[in-house]
Structure 1
Amino acid sequence: MNTATKLGGFALGLAAVFGAAYGVGQVTGPVTTVVADEHPGTVGHAPAVPGPEADGSGHHPDDPGTDAPDPAGRQPGGLLVADRGYTLVPVDAPPGEFAFRITGPDGQSVTGYDVSHDKRMHLIVARRDLSGFRHVHPELAADGTWRVASPLDSPGVWRAFADFTPTGAEPLTLGVDVTVPGQLTERPLPAPASSSTVDGYTVELAGTPQPGRASTLTLTVRRDGVPVTDLDPYLGAYGHLVALRRGDLGYLHVHPEGVPGDGRTAAGPRVSFTTEFPSAGAYRLYLDFSHGGKVRTAEFTVHLGDPGSIPAPEAAGPDDGHGTPGHGHD
Structure 2
Amino acid sequence: MRNVDVPTEDPPRHKSKWSLDLTDDEEPAAAPAGEPEKNSTFRFAAIGALLIVVLFAGYGLGRLNNGTSASATTTPAAATSTGSTVVNENMPHTHGATGAGVAATSAVVGGLSLSSDGLTLRPATTTFEAGKQQRLSFTIDATGGTPVTSYAIVHDKPLHLIVARRDLTGFQHLHPVMADDGTWSIDLTLAQPGVYRMIADFTALVGGRQVATTLGTDLTVAGNYVPQALPAVSDQATVAGLTVTYAGAPDTTAVQPLLMTVTGGTVEPYLGAYGHLVVLRQGDVAYLHVHPEQQLVDGKVKFWVTAPSPGSYRMFFDFQVAGQVHTAEWTLQVS
TM-score w.r.t. structure 1 length? 0.69
Query: What does the per-residue CA deviation read over 1:154-188, in whole Å, with 9 as the maximum and x for residues that have no partner?
Result: 21110000000002223111010111112221100
Alpha-carbon contact 2:104-2:255 (below 8 Å) kept: no
Q: What residue is the counterpart of 2:255 in the other structure?
A: 214
Alpha-carbon contact 2:109-2:287 (below 8 Å) kept: yes
Q: What residue is the counterpart of 1:249 in the other structure?
A: 285
Is 1:49 the counterpart of 2:49? The answer is no
Return closer, same or farther for 1:281/1:69 CA change in 2, 3 Å cut-off: farther
Q: What residue is the counterpart of 2:138 in the other structure?
A: 100
Count of paired positions:
247
Query: What does the per-residue CA deviation read over 1:82-120, in whole Å, with 9 as the maximum and x for residues that have no partner?
Result: 001100001149961111110012420000001000001
- Aligned CA RMSD, in angstroms, stands at 2.6
Q: What pairs with 1:169-318 in structure 2 (closer than 5 Å)?
A: 169-223=210-264, 228=265, 230-258=266-294, 265-266=295-296, 269-305=299-335
Alpha-carbon contact 2:107-2:307 (below 8 Å) kept: no
Shift of 1:151: 4.2
Q: Which amino acid aligns with 1:298?
A: A
SS of residue paired to 2:204: coil
Report the structure number with the largest CA radius of gyration: 2
Return closer, same or farther for 1:104/1:112 CA change in 2, 3 Å cut-off: same
Q: What residue is the counterpart of 1:87 in the other structure?
A: 120
Alpha-carbon contact 2:87-2:153 (below 8 Å) kept: no
More helix, by proportion: 2
1:114 to 152, 164, 189: 152
Between 206-215 and 115-124, the greater mean CA deviation after superposition? 206-215
Alpha-carbon contact 2:93-2:103 (below 8 Å) kept: no
CA distance in 1 between partners of 2:184 and 2:303 (Å) = 29
Alpha-carbon contact 1:154-1:180 (below 8 Å) kept: yes
Q: What residue is the counterpart of 1:156 in the other structure?
A: 194
Shift of 1:277: 1.2
Q: Which amino acid aligns with 1:64?
A: M
CA distance in 1 between partners of 2:197 and 2:235 (Å) = 26
Query: What does the per-residue CA deviation read over 1:272-321, in whole Å, with 9 as the maximum and x for residues that have no partner?
Result: 1002111110010000001111111000001001xxxxxxxxxxxxxxxx
Q: What residue is the counterpart of 1:66 in the other structure?
A: 93
Shift of 1:211: 1.4
SS of residue paired to 2:153: coil
SS of residue paired to 1:298: strand
Shift of 1:59: 4.9
Alpha-carbon contact 2:277-2:318 (below 8 Å) kept: yes
CA distance in 1 between partners of 2:238 and 2:86 (Å) = 30
Shift of 1:268: 7.4
Q: What residue is the counterpart of 2:181 in the other structure?
A: 143
Which structure has the higher relative contact order (CA within 8 Å, separation 6+)?
1
Alpha-carbon contact 1:48-1:170 (below 8 Å) kept: no
Alpha-carbon contact 1:231-1:267 (below 8 Å) kept: no
CA distance in 1 between partners of 2:323 and 2:157 (Å) = 18
Unaligned runs of 5+ in 2: 1-71, 95-101
CA distance in 2 between partners of 1:104 and 1:181 (Å) = 31
Alpha-carbon contact 1:241-1:255 (below 8 Å) kept: yes
Unaligned runs of 5+ in 1: 1-46, 259-264, 306-330
